[in-house]
Structure 1
Amino acid sequence: MKLKITQTKGLLFKGFLLKTGIIVLIFLWNTNVFSQDATKLPSELTAAYTSTLAPGTTITIADGTYSGSFTMKVNGVGTSTNPITFKAQTPGGVKFTNGQQLKIGGDYCIIDGLWWQGGNGASNFIEFRDGSNYAYYSTLQNCVVDGLQVSGGTPTYNASTGVYASVKHNWVVMYGNYNTVINCSFMNKISSGNFILAEYQFNASADGTGLPNTRCDEVGHKIINNYFYKYAKIDDTYTNSGDSEAIRIGTSEYQNVNSNALVQNNYFVEADGENEIITNKSKGNSYINNTFRRCRGSLVLRHGSDTTVNGNYFLGMNVDGTGGIRIVDSNQIIRNNYIQDCITVIDQAQWNNGITFLGGSAAKAVDCSVTTGLSNGYQKVENLNLSNNTIVNTNAPLFYNIAQGSTDPLGSVNDNLIYFTSGNSNITPVINQDYTALGTALTYSGNVWKGASSLGATNTGFAEVAGITATQSGEIFTFTGADGKGADMGTYTPITDGMVGNEIGACFVNYLGASYSGTCSVVIPETLVVGSLSTFAHTGGSMDVSITANVSWSATSNDSWITTINPSSGTGDATVSVTVTENTGTESRSGSVTFTQTSGDGNGTTKTLNITQDAPPPPDPRDGLNLINPLFADVEAVYACHEETEANGHSGKFNDAWKSLDKNPDTQWAGSAALGECASAGYTSIIYDLKGAFDLDLVDIATTSGKTYNLQIWVSSTVPVSPETYPANGDFTLAYPSSGFFQISTTPTVKVPYTISPAAAGTRYVKIVGDGQPGGSRYTTIHEIEFYGDPVSLSVDDKQITNQVKMYPNPVSNILTVSQIKTQVNVIQVFTLDGRKVMEKPIKSLTSEIKVDVSTLSNGAYILNLVNSDASKDSKMFIVSH
């Protein structure tokens, strides 16, 4: 705009006119740029027009019913304090009946109060982009999309199945970063495609080609206070039926995008499109305080790690096909969720249960730096935190599904509460389906249940608690007799139909889509979610817990041994470090930290972080005991009723008895109770000579990984007349256990100690008796065995051997002389230093000098054992040098 200034000869007036002209110029310039509020028809919202709008502008869209064909484009750039607003003249007064598209390509733009009702629309008809212009910090709020159909015709209805042919048709597609859909209602969808899809191709790279990689950049979308109603079940035989979620966050190819989206305080009713109500396919997302009612599906963590699922209600209302949460991928935190009256026995029974575990094997928690090779399969489940959830009257509360693999999930399942009311029609065991194949590697503790038909498996991490009492509170239950167990829902109660049109969904329609005059204020719910910690080691230390919040908070320790909380207060999200001291007691201990909201309407609301710490390990029973066989040669395997070796007809097998003593965990003795001399007794047995009398305190045994064996330990002090004669069965006494068999399950490198109490006095021989594997093989295997005990005190004669025997020459070439022997020596044995016996010579009579021919031995060091008549022995080293 031009300003004409008229000059005069008077200097006074000249200055005055100049200043006045500047003021007028500034006024007119401000009016042109900053005062652009206007009322427009929706067809006037073109890219050319909206891109010129200044921050703070409000465009009012004239009320009316619009059936023409046009696309609205929003491309202005506002600011956080001065957004550009496009709003209906009255909420719901702008009604579209022809599926008119909306493209949001601006920053800090708000679209408010529009109503799409029926008609045909293109897929992706509301997008947070206009071409290559992607929206940032923009909001779709207080809008309704109801009954929009696919452009080009109505899907074919199958009367026999009650479902529709599938044509993919997404309603809202979120591109860009930090965009929000809040207080909107999405209703009556009959074609496949999502109510809301967060599409991350252009978050993975700016131009969608993959390079440069931007997957590590946070996306940060929010989906809050919305209403999702009546998504008709899509026939799963039709193409695209698997893309029929109410919400999908990400895609398989971009599962490692750092999404960090928030889905909070939404209400889902009969969102039946497919058996995934919400599908998580990206990293770091949070699903907090949502209510699912009569939805035939589950909240599914399909791809993408580091997800938080906290404080949600799943109310199946006994509709078949309803479920809770399905778990894939790693670092998932699932806490404080309430699941009730869900049942799936007719359709998709293995997919929709209370909690469904899967056993995928694809790469887990893929880092955001990875750009290729991402699998659309099922990822490994590791570092799972499934704690403090409540499951009530739900068919198959915990379901283990091996349909996509049997890789064991890893993580913790703690403090959950499972409850059935008496006579409930959904009663099942707590644990269902393929627990043995999929569930045994998880760590379970503190879980409680009542009313189930059984636990369904052997698991000490669950306790049936008769004292649990359920009290009806509206449509849900509260519980006593189970402190610290189950979900802490705080002040959040289930969303109901009556809340739609006020704090939930758009303010101008009710829960059925009829016109309604509600409260048209958009309120972001206050959030304070405290994560959880795994159990601290007894040594103490620090661990980090995640806080998800949009309010201020403070944290206080309730126990003196929880010493540091850093930071102890804050506003918004945070990572808090918790430090505990060493546990010097004898038992594990529990404590807590209280987080208190210090701002907003919920000021004073508290959340509890439970802290547990292990007890110190018990003293090693081996401590202070004498190891009888530190070397291979110190003990000898003198008898085995069967050895699995080639000599006994087992091709390629070399499982000799002596290999249980060779200090090599990769070798073993194996014998079958059904073969050899064992067959007549019905048990395997192996006898060890301790080569002396000992008060036997402990036997240490290592066996084969993944197998359980039934064993007994027998002892004898009987001394044979000659080395070829060993104690008969009648000479042995059962030392452990006192009766029956004990079971051992360990690995070749981990020996399990068995204490003989009181010590078996004067033991010379130990016999291990095996009864094979429970319900399986008749074989018994021992990889390593060691014995602990003190030698029986030497007599005067014994001491004479130890103190007086001489040996020469040393080094020796041919004949080694052993002299000054005062007592009877029964056997001379020679061993290599690695424990191999290379010579054994019986001595028939008492003699003071013995000569040993070592001329055939190779150069090197050897051990000479002298064994006397009462099993005492003296060991000396000599060197052969030819």
Structure 2
Amino acid sequence: MKKIILCYLIVCTSYQAILAKSYKVNSEKEFKTVIPQLLAGDEVIIANGNYNNWAIEIASKGTKAKTILVRAQESGKVVFSGDMDQILFKLTGDYIILSGITFKHCILLKNGGLIELKGSQSCQITNCQFLENTVKTQFTPLVIVSGSGANNKIDKCTFTANVDNQDLQVKITKETCPQNTLIEQNIFTNKQKVSWKNGNGGECVQIGQDPVLLGLQAAKSIVRDNRFINCNGESEVISNKSSGNSYLKNYFENNDGELVMRGGHDCIIDGNIFNGGTGGIRVNGTGHTITNNKISNIKTAIRLMYGMAKGKQEIGFYIAASNCIINNNQISNATTGILVGDSKDADWKGKFDTIRYPSPVIQSIAPFDNKISGNTFSDTKTEQVNQ
């Protein structure tokens, strides 16, 4: 009987494999013809070649066991370039994988992006390259995770020398907050300072956009095992503006910027390595856990900031760092190891819209109730400064 059941299962599996189809496409038109036919387990192969300005939306539904795979015929040999005025690939379905595509010398003419995972469930962007692309509108990301989806992943991608852009954005609004986005094993390199007058809009990773009004949204994103090298787009290499996110085992080298808790609460920053550059970790907000990080060759390793307001109930353009745990971090060759109370009495009058962002304009509330213990310092001029 066991042999009969085993044979039956083998036959069923083989039959399902036979049912799965593989489509090869050479144009946007061919791809759009295929989309209505896609079923779980199917794949779409984009033929090697150079392409421009597609607008593909895939709402198909794969399953965990049978994903829908959209891939380059050969990784790195399917290249999109030139002027773009629309999102090239929008995934709105379930269990769809986009793999092996290169985006090089694209010029994004409108505020959109190259790839968007919108309301998708368990979709993945993997092994893609984003090389020397340029945006023409400030705050434009190359890759966007948006809507009310969950469990999406961006992994093993390369972001190199992109200009005036955000590389990867988890978009949060009043109505939607993607859940459990996983960003891992990506490489971000050689990002030059943005040309925008206010110097903003050049983050490698941004999770949330409005810390004043939406910082309490819990995105529960995980950013781990990524590498950030020579990323100088702006002062925030990673910008956290939501709650409940984790930043684990990332590597930072010679960046003109920091890992910044700009807004939000209850995030975990653990096991990261910082080597050189202008800064390490900057902290606003409540309840963050900052542990087991190694920070070396940086002027100030960890900064706990003054705020205009405090706690999770008050609204402020900056929230004072409070109830954070800073433990077991190794700091070496720094001017200041831990600075408690940076930006004291900084005056933001006229620098942001107080109607849109209701807030006092002076950073007058000092960090409070933070637990700092068990950190080690070597070749550091001053271990801790309290202001």
Aligned to 1:293: 253
Question: Counterparts of 2:310 and 2:59 in 1: how far apart (Å)?
Answer: 40
Query: Could you tell me which residue of structure 2 aligns to residue 327 of structure 1?
Result: 283
Please give the residue correspondences for 1:389-538 in structure 2 after superposition, counting only pairs within 5 Å. 389-399=329-339, 400-401=341-342, 402=344, 403=346, 404-420=363-379, 428-432=381-385, 435=386, 437=387
Structure with higher Rg: it is 1
Tell me, in whole angstroms, the C-alpha distance in 2 between the residues paired with 1:311 and 1:134: 31
Per-residue deviation, 1:231: 1.3
CA–CA separation in structure 2 for the residues paired with 1:167 and 1:259: 24
Q: 1:136 to 1:376 in 2, by over 3 A?
A: farther
* 2:52 is equivalent to residue 105 of structure 1: no
Residue number in structure 1 paired with 2:200:
242
The equivalent position to 2:129 in structure 1, one of 144, 147, 150, is 144
Give the Cα–Cα distance (whole angstroms) in 1 for the partners of residues 315 and 18 of structure 2.
51
Contact map agreement 1:256 1:282 (CA 8 A) in 2: yes
Q: Tell me the distance in 2 between the aligned counterparts of 1:356 and 1:80.
A: 42
Give SS of 1:315's match: strand
* Superposed CA offset, 1:683-727 (max 9, x none): xxxxxxxxxxxxxxxxxxxxxxxxxxxxxxxxxxxxxxxxxxxxx
Which one has more relative contact order, counting CA pairs under 8 Å at least 6 apart?
Answer: 2
**1:125 paired residue number:** 113
Q: 1:332 to 1:49 in 2, by over 3 A?
A: same
For 2:382, what is the secondary structure of its paired residue?
coil
Question: Which residue in 1 is equivalent to 2:60?
Answer: 76
Q: 1:430 to 1:93 in 2, by over 3 A?
A: same
SS of the residue corresponding to residue 430 of structure 1 reads: strand
CA distance in 2, matches of 1:298, 1:244: 12
Compute the displacement of 1:37 (Å). Answer: 1.3
In structure 1, how many angstroms separate the alpha carbons of the residues matched to 2:125 and 2:34? 19
Match of 2:141 among 159, 166, 170: 170
Q: C-alpha displacement at 1:184, in angstroms?
A: 0.1
Partners of 1:264 and 1:42 lie apart in 2 by: 35
Alignment of 1:845-864 (within 5 A): none
Aligned equivalents of 1:410 and 1:197: distance in 2? Answer: 32
Matched, 1:179 2:149: no
Q: 1:221 offset after TM fit, Å?
A: 0.2
Is structure 2 residue 199 aligned with structure 1 residue 199? no
Instruction: Note the residue ranges of structure 2 that are not aligned, 5 or more in a row.
Output: 1-11, 347-362
- Quick one: distance in 2 between partners of 1:135 and 1:225? 21
Letter in 2 for 1:195: D
C-alpha distance 220-32 of structure 1, shift in aligned 2 (>3 A): closer
Separation of aligned partners in 2, 1:75 and 1:181: 18
Is the contact made by 2:232 and 2:257 (CA closer than 8 Å) also made in structure 1? yes
- Structure 1 pair 225/376, CA: closer, same or farther in 2 (3 Å)? farther
Q: Under a length normalisation based on structure 1, what TM-score does the superposition of the two structures give?
A: 0.38
Letter of the structure 1 residue corresponding to residue 259 of structure 2:
L
- Give the aligned partner of residue 324 of structure 2: 384
Q: How far does the alpha carbon of each residue in 1:35-56 deviate from its partner, in whole angstroms, 9 at most, with x for none?
A: 3211112514656642431101
- Indicate the SS of the match to 2:71: strand
Query: How many residues align structurally?
Result: 347
Q: Please say if residues 46 and 71 of structure 2, whose CA atoms lie closer than 8 Å, have aligned partners that are also in contact.
A: yes
How far apart, CA to CA, are the structure 2 residues paired with 1:270 and 1:357?
Answer: 24
SS of residue in 2 equivalent to 1:118: strand
Equivalent residue runs for 1:50-89 within 5 Å: 50-66=35-51, 68-89=52-73
5+ residue gaps, structure 1: 1-26, 152-165, 207-214, 344-352, 367-373, 421-426, 438-882
Q: Which residue of 2 aligns with 1:503?
A: none
Q: Secondary structure at the match of 1:82?
A: coil
Shift of 1:405: 2.5
User: Contact 1:99–1:125 (CA<8 Å) still a contact in 2?
Assistant: no
- CA distance, structure 1, for counterparts of residue 243 and residue 16 of structure 2: 46
CA distance in 1, matches of 2:283, 2:221: 18
Q: Residues 150 and 416 (structure 1 numbering): CA distance in 2 closer, same or farther, change over 3 Å?
A: same
Residues 10-21 of structure 1: matches in 2 within 5 Å? none
**Aligned Cα root-mean-square deviation (Å):** 2.4
- Distance in 2, matches of 1:376 and 1:226, equals 33
- Measured in 2, the distance between the counterparts of 1:53 and 1:333 equals 44
Per-residue deviation, residues 522-553 of structure 1 (Å, max 9, x unmatched):
xxxxxxxxxxxxxxxxxxxxxxxxxxxxxxxx
TM-score by length of 2: 0.83
SS at match of 1:314: strand
Secondary structure of 1:50's aligned partner: helix
Give the Cα separation in 1 of the matches to 2:157 and 2:66.
22
Query: Are residues 42 and 323 of structure 1, via their aligned partners in 2, closer, same or farther at CA, if it must alter by over 3 Å?
Result: farther
Q: CA deviation at 1:74?
A: 2.2
Asked whether the equivalents of residues 332 and 383 of structure 1 are also in contact (C-alpha less than 8 Å), the reply is yes
Match of 1:307 in 2: 267
- Alpha-carbon distance, 1:114 to partner: 0.4
Deviations 1:364-396 (A, max 9, x none): 235xxxxxxx84511132221000001110122
Return the alpha-carbon distance in structure 2 between the equivalents of residues 32 and 56 of structure 1. Answer: 8
Aligned residue identity for 2:285: D
Aligned partner letter, 1:190: V
Deviation at 1:103, TM superposition (A): 1.3
Seen in structure 2, the aligned counterparts of structure 1 residues 47 and 393 have a Cα distance that, compared at 3 Å, is same
Helix, strand or coil for the counterpart of 2:364? strand
Corresponding residue of 2:5: none
Query: What SS is found at the alignment partner of 2:28?
Result: helix
1:134 has 2:112 as partner: no
CA distance change for structure 1 residues 118 and 258 in 2, over 3 Å: closer, same or farther?
same
